[in-house]
Structure 1
Amino acid sequence: MEKNLNYEAAYSELTQIAQEIETEAVSVDVLAEKVKRASELIAFCQTKLRSTETEVNKIIKQMENQPL
């Protein structure tokens, strides 16, 4: 996975791949390659979402523990 890949770019690429597969714009010769890339992008996005959720929950807990 590229080092400077972000969620938006990964999601955009994943959407493009899905559209290509749905419209049968992908040849059989590159289908496996596209599916593999989609799998990598899905894993990246899931990891990013989990990480963000953890960070947000941590911030919320810190805010709840601060005196008013």
Structure 2
Amino acid sequence: MEIPSTYETAYAELQEIVAALENETISVDELALKVKRATQLVEFCQSKLKSAETEVNKIIKNQD
């Protein structure tokens, strides 16, 4: 599965998976794949957030 290029794209796909799980529209055959994909998306989003946090902290530190 392809990794999204932006946080927003990954988050939107993750929301779709969560909605499908909540609405029970995912078949048993798809469940493992969707959970695996959700895990990849969460890791991607966490990485993007950590990167943004690091960059913001650098900017703030340089302002002092």
Shorter-normalised TM-score: what interval? over 0.9
Instruction: Tell me which stretches of 4 or more aligned residues in structure 1 moved more than 3 Å.
Output: none
3-state SS of the aligned residue for 1:5?
coil
TM-score (ref. length: structure 2): 0.93
Q: Which residue of 2 is the match for residue 27 of structure 1?
A: 27
| C-alpha deviation, 1:58, in angstroms | 0.2
TM-score (ref. length: structure 1): 0.88
| C-alpha deviation, 1:17, in angstroms | 0.2
| C-alpha deviation, 1:30, in angstroms | 0.5
Structure 2 residue ranges without an equivalent (≥5): none
Identity score, percent: 56
3-state SS of the aligned residue for 1:30?
helix
Q: For residues 22 and 33 of structure 1, what CA distance do their matches in structure 2 show? A: 16
Task: Provide Cα deviations, 1:7-51, integer angstroms capped at 9, x if missing partner.
Answer: 000000000000001100000000000000000000000000000
Q: Which residue of 2 is the match for residue 54 of structure 1?
A: 54
Structure 1 residue ranges without an equivalent (≥5): none
